[in-house]
Chain A
Amino acid sequence: MTLEFLLASAIGVLVAGGIYLSLRARTFQVVLGLTLFSYAVNLFLFASGRLTINRPPILQKGVTEYADPLPQALVLTAIVITFGMTALAVVLSLRSFLETGSDQVDGNECAGDEDEGPDLNAGPRA
């Protein structure tokens, strides 16, 4: 087995898990799904620089070959941004639960507000 295969397959598995979880009905599971998905994405972006062993991109005398530093910088940025987004998503879903008493995201629990809508000569909203 090659490193490339390990990484590619790991990415695949993470993506699959991420997609499956993010299609669940409750916020926590969805957040989990996003977490897995973003792991995969970060690895993918990292992989765009191909894989190199024992050549960290830190300049040393006499070393000419280094791992591609650019994808690493990109991934670092991506990790940070993803972290910010995830944090916000977590807090938001928590807050939304606290406000509405439901952490469903499949729209089922708010079937009530999806009626035909007030018809054109109905009275004021209660």
Chain B
Amino acid sequence: MALELTLYTLVFLPFLAALLITTVSARSMAWHSGLAASGSALGLAIVLSLAGRVLDGEVLGISAPWVPALGLDFSLMVDPLGLLFALMILGIGLLVVIFGHFYLAPSEATGRFFASLMLFQGAMLGIAISGNVLLLLVFWELTSLSSFLLIGFWKHKAEARQGARMALAVTGGGGLVLIAGMVLLGSVAGSFDLATILQRADIVQASPLYPVMLILILIGCFTKSAQFPFHFWLPHAMAAPTPVSAYLHSATMVKAGVFLLARFWPVLSGTELYTAIVSSVGLITMLFGAWVALFRHDLKSILAYSTISQLGLLVMLLGFSIKMAAVGAVLHIINHAAFKAALFMSAGIVDHETGTRDIRKLGGLGKVMPVTALVATLAAASMAGLPPLGGFISKEMMLDETLHVGLFGQPWLVPIVATLAAALSVAYSLRFAAHLFFGKPRDAQAHAKAHDPAAGMWGSPAFLVALAVLLGLIPMTLVGPLVTAAASAVLGETAPPLGLALWHGVNPALGMSVVAVAAGTLIVWQHSRVLRAYEGLRHLDAKHLFEQTLSIADKRVRKLIVAIHAPSLQRMLLAAFAVVVLFIAEGAVRGSGSLTGTRAGQPASVMAIVAWGLLIAATVAVVLEHRQRFLVLVYVSVIGLVIALAFVHLSAPDLALTQISVEVVTILLLLLALNLLPKRPPQLSGNGRRLRDAALALLGGFGVGGAAWAMLTRPANNPISGYHVANSYTGGGGTNIVNVTLVDFRGFDTLGEIIVLGIAGLAIYALLDTAARGAAGARLGTWQEDMPHSPERHPMMFVMATRILLPLVLAAGIYIFLRGHNQPGGGFIAALVIAIAFLLQYLASGFDWTDARRKVGEHLLIASGVLVAVATGLGSLVFGANFLTSSFGYFHVPLVGEVELATAMLFDVGVLCVVFGAVMQALAQLSHIAQRAARAHAANLAVRQEDGK
């Protein structure tokens, strides 16, 4: 329990600190750095308190299930390797925070800075001590995100933004590849628990997927640890404030890839493939980085490339698949962290004091800033691998190991390249120190105000350098146990006995470093020459390349996306219809069985054939004549009429009634709308397109028609409607089965149906209510009547007729409604009939007259209609029955006779209200607009006549 508490505190502490910092972001920098520092310090204390037990060989692990379905547990594991990294992350983190406090100006967004820094610290710590692979991935991606924020800290600088984006793209992308690799690894190993996976080397390496997962995982590591050819993001990450570079880009984040290689050493290493890829990539990176570092002029850039080179060294060592090499790697991780962070801070100090980081402008700073000079020079010496510093020991180990590997069967290859790289690193280290602090000043004004900063600022690097020195003098006492333990953790077994000392007697490794030092000194002595040679070569600028690739990709893809998604309704419909036709064809082909079924057809009467011919003719006319706009409506209504007749003939009277009434209303609607739509003839689409559409149309027609034919010629499969026939009267209390189905068996459908109509009414209102304003209003104002119009607006005969008609139609409507349950009719049809009557009023007497006499608004009708329907449905709940359960009884009403009253009819009242309301809404609003347009037209005419006179 205590342990769990400790570890959870440890891992969540940095995030907590980040949170606290954001809450006090308004306050001064002291708050921010203070919180960050105390957070790191506390974390460090916790880790140190655990160190003893871990070094005694105990693996501290806790686990809580998070997503069992995924195998993702929140489990933490502190073993010596984790401990080592935790110490570096928190220790250097603390130093960086202190350094940053003095480095940043209080005017900057220090809250954001330290918060992001803590965010990163938490993520990095998570990588170091997570005991579940998937959890590790979570933290891994978090480091990419937080470093994105830190690199982009100075967001007003373009290079900061670009550097941040590039780092995110490369490391984040690598992270995604890593995810693939890790999920594979876990699936093969049968668990995502780190400890378990480390036990399963045999299973993993035997799996046919091993090469795939290995390469995926390696890409993840190489991107993060800036290995060739993924190294290019790191130098541009230097746009970040120097504390960030010191922390992320030297000591910690870029080591994550190395950490992963070390972590999974027992599972992944040892195979031909592994050794070949990892050690050669490391070797190339080591050489390449050292080479480029030699010719950079920006201090941070020099350090960046040197870091790349040093990371290459580490990767190479781990790639050898030799135990002792792994031990050397562990030792060098410590050394590098110490001297590189110190160097970055020194570079920051120089930048801070002289205002430039260009090594060509600097020199002889040793006189004006001796402390910095001392610190930086010692650190550089350690980087160069000179005795008596820590760097020397690990480099000796490295060179010694190179003699034991024959890469690609060439025993000489690795040692020679390694020596060369060592020489180069001696050179760039020497140059860094010499050109910076010795010789004579190259640029006066850079020196004007240069002096050693406050102790607070050089304290951190000084501490690290002291460490670097001690790592050389008393390595065993200082880190002996830690290295041994960590190395054992890497190897998964006890590490070979370790004898760290400066003097190993005369051995090949010593010879190689002597050569390296000599060569390095020579290079620096002749630097200007070599530089000229280097600048002779042509180099490609990774950042420029990256940005260019992105922008080209962006342009291309943009073109494509825009082209695909052109706002063309035709294309959308084309896609839909094409899919349909293809699928119908597919089904017809794949599915066995003939088109025509076994069911005998029924002979068609002459009437039927005539009607059919009429329908076909009308349809063809609609298609061909679709430019004769008003004529077309006549054809359409013919089609509707024929269909209605068909319904009568095919024993569907309700459908016939509905079809007719809907037809009338639809045509009226179209008439009103058409009157206002533009008169200019539609431009013809090209022949090619017309042919294409025609072909598609024919295919579609054949498809659906064929399906209909196939359907009609097959016997029914005892449909459930038998039940409806049987229960219509006894259960539903009506003889009109269709109506009973609508209001009772499937009343729920009808509820939805009327709501659709109601919404349509509301939407139409919302649309047309605003039609009189703005652009639309203006357009209405200039509307031109296009048909010769009887001079008399409202012909008397018509008006009278409709006035007389209205009450009759209303009566008819009520009758249709009442008989609906037993005879063809019902609320819907009644509503339409009444609506039509009212509409005639509009047409005859004009909007104003009718509107003035219309008592209830459509909104009220629609709303109350829906309410009535739903309430009827709910009524049954009172009697403990389900929603929409009906009950009915018969009553004698004078004159009308035997009348049935069923709750279903109450429901039908709701239907009537909504339908009437909606239809009126649509037609009334539309004719309102029409009237407005007509008035405008008349006004325009009048004006023109005035002008005529």
Q: What is A's interface to B at a CB cutoff of 8 Å?
A: 1-32, 35-36, 39-40, 42-44, 46-60, 66-77, 79-81, 83-88, 90-95, 97-101, 103, 105-108, 110, 114, 116-117
Contact call A66/B737, Cβ cutoff below 8 A: yes
Which size bracket describes the interface of B in this complex? 35 or more
Kindly list chain B residues whose C-beta atoms are within 8 Å of the C-beta of A52. 650-651
Contact call A98/B776, Cβ cutoff below 8 A: yes
* Contact with A19, one of B577, B601, B736, B753 (Cβ below 8 angstroms): B577
Nearest 9 pairs between A and B by C-beta? A12-B705, A16-B701, A2-B601, A107-B568, A84-B760, A98-B776, A8-B709, A20-B697, A70-B721
User: Once bound together, how far apart are the Cα atoms of A95 and B775, in whole Å?
Assistant: 11
Query: B630-667, CB under 8 A of A: which get 1 and which 0?
Result: 00100010011001001101111111001100100110
A13 with B616: in contact, given A23-B574, A53-B602, A55-B651 (CB under 8 Å)? Answer: yes
Is B261 on the interface with A (CB-CB < 8 A)? no
* Contact with A6, one of B608, B669, B746, B925 (Cβ below 8 angstroms): B608
Is B883 on the interface with A (CB-CB < 8 A)? no
Contact call B728/A77, Cβ cutoff below 8 A: no
Is B208 on the interface with A (CB-CB < 8 A)? no
Indicate the member of A6, A16, A106 with the most B CB atoms within 10 Å: A16
User: Once bound together, how far apart are the Cα atoms of A47 and B271, in whole Å?
Assistant: 70
User: Once bound together, how far apart are the Cα atoms of A80 and B649, in whole Å?
Assistant: 21
Contact call B665/A83, Cβ cutoff below 8 A: yes
* Contact with B662, one of A2, A5, A20, A83 (Cβ below 8 angstroms): A83
User: Once bound together, how far apart are the Cα atoms of A124 and B443, in whole Å?
Assistant: 44
Kindly list chain A residues whose C-beta atoms are within 8 Å of the C-beta of B570. 23-25, 105-107
Chain B residue nearest in CB terms to A57 = B737
* Contact with B775, one of A29, A67, A98 (Cβ below 8 angstroms): A98
| B922 → chain A closest CB, angstroms | 5
Contact call A44/B708, Cβ cutoff below 8 A: yes
* Contact with B666, one of A54, A86, A105 (Cβ below 8 angstroms): A86
Kindly list chain A residues whose C-beta atoms are within 8 Å of the C-beta of B698. 16
Contact call B775/A99, Cβ cutoff below 8 A: yes
| B66 → chain A closest CB, angstroms | 39
Q: A20-B623, A36-B639 are in contact. List 20 more A-B contacts (CB 8 A).
A: A3-B602, A3-B603, A5-B601, A8-B709, A23-B697, A28-B673, A31-B670, A49-B721, A51-B602, A53-B650, A56-B652, A57-B725, A84-B759, A84-B918, A86-B669, A87-B922, A91-B673, A91-B925, A101-B775, A105-B570
Contact call B764/A91, Cβ cutoff below 8 A: yes
Chain A residue nearest in CB terms to B714 = A50
A81 with B756: in contact, given A12-B706, A20-B694, A32-B636 (CB under 8 Å)? Answer: yes
Chain A residue nearest in CB terms to B561 = A117
* Contact with A59, one of B574, B643, B735, B775 (Cβ below 8 angstroms): B735
User: Once bound together, how far apart are the Cα atoms of A51 and B316, in whole Å?
Assistant: 82
Kindly list chain A residues whose C-beta atoms are within 8 Å of the C-beta of B711. 47-48
| B560 → chain A closest CB, angstroms | 12
Chain B residue nearest in CB terms to A87 = B922
| A107 → chain B closest CB, angstroms | 4
Is B543 on the interface with A (CB-CB < 8 A)? no
Kindly list chain A residues whose C-beta atoms are within 8 Å of the C-beta of B694. 20
User: Once bound together, how far apart are the Cα atoms of A114 and B559, in whole Å?
Assistant: 10
Contact call B738/A73, Cβ cutoff below 8 A: yes
Kindly list chain B residues whose C-beta atoms are within 8 Å of the C-beta of A74. 749
* Contact with A117, one of B558, B568, B608, B745 (Cβ below 8 angstroms): B558
